[in-house]
Structure 1
Amino acid sequence: MQYSTHIKPISYLKEKTASVVKEITESREPMIITQNGEATFVVQDIKSYEQTQQTMALLKMLALGQKEIERGEFVDADDVFAKMDKEVAG
C-alpha cells in the first residue's frame, strides 16, 4: 500500500469532502489526514473498515485460542469426534 499520495491536510478534506469520498470508495485505499503537519486520523471506505474489523476479530480469536492451548485448556480433536460419533449413534 502506498500512502504518500493519500496524505492530505484537514483543509483538503473540508474543501473536497465529496471528491474524497469518491476517491476513497473507488481506490479502497485509506487517506491519512494531517492537522498542523501531524497525522491525526485516517479516512477509509466502509468495506475496507469492515474487512479490517473482521480480520481483527479473527486474530483476537486466534490469540485467545493460542493462550488456551498454552494453558492446556483444550480437548484433543480425536476426543471431540469420538464424542460426536457416540452422540449420533445414540
Structure 2
Amino acid sequence: MHLSQDIKPISYLKAKTANVINDVNENQRTIIITQNGEAKAVVQDIKSYENMQNSLNLLKLIVQSENDIENGRIIEQQDMFDTLEQKLFG
C-alpha cells in the first residue's frame, strides 16, 4: 500500500469520482476515503472484492471444520463415500 496515493479525502472522491474508479480498476489497488481526517470508506475494484469474499468464505469453512473436529462431529471417509454412493445410485 502506498499511503500517499491510497488515502484520499472525501473531497477528492467527490471531485474526481470517475478518475478514482478508473485508477482502482486499472491498478487493482484499494483506496481509503477519509472524512474529517478519519478513515470512513474503502473503494475497491470488483475482482479484488470478489477474491476477498471468496477467501473469507473459505476461511469460514475452515473454522467450521475445525469446530466439527474439536466437537467430534466427524465420520470416516469410507462411510461418507458409502453413504454418497447409496444416495446417488440407490
Q: What SS class does the counterpart of residue 74 from structure 1 fall into? A: coil
Q: Percent identity, please.
A: 45
In 1, the alpha carbon distance for the partners of 2:59 and 2:45 equals: 21
Which residue number in structure 1 is paired with residue 52 of structure 2? 52
Amino acid at match of 1:59: L
Which residue number in structure 2 is paired with residue 67 of structure 1? 67
Indicate the RMSD between aligned Cα atoms, in angstroms.
2.0
Q: What SS class does the counterpart of residue 66 from structure 2 fall into? A: helix
Show structure 2 runs of 5+ residues with no match: none
Q: What SS class does the counterpart of residue 34 from structure 2 fall into? A: strand
Amino acid at match of 2:6: H
Which residue number in structure 2 is paired with residue 8 of structure 1? 8
Spell out structure 1 runs of 4+ moving beyond 3 A.
84-90
Show structure 1 runs of 5+ residues with no match: none
Which residue number in structure 1 is paired with residue 33 of structure 2? 33
Q: CA distance change for structure 1 residues 3 and 75 in 2, over 3 Å: closer, same or farther?
A: farther
In 1, the alpha carbon distance for the partners of 2:24 and 2:43 equals: 8
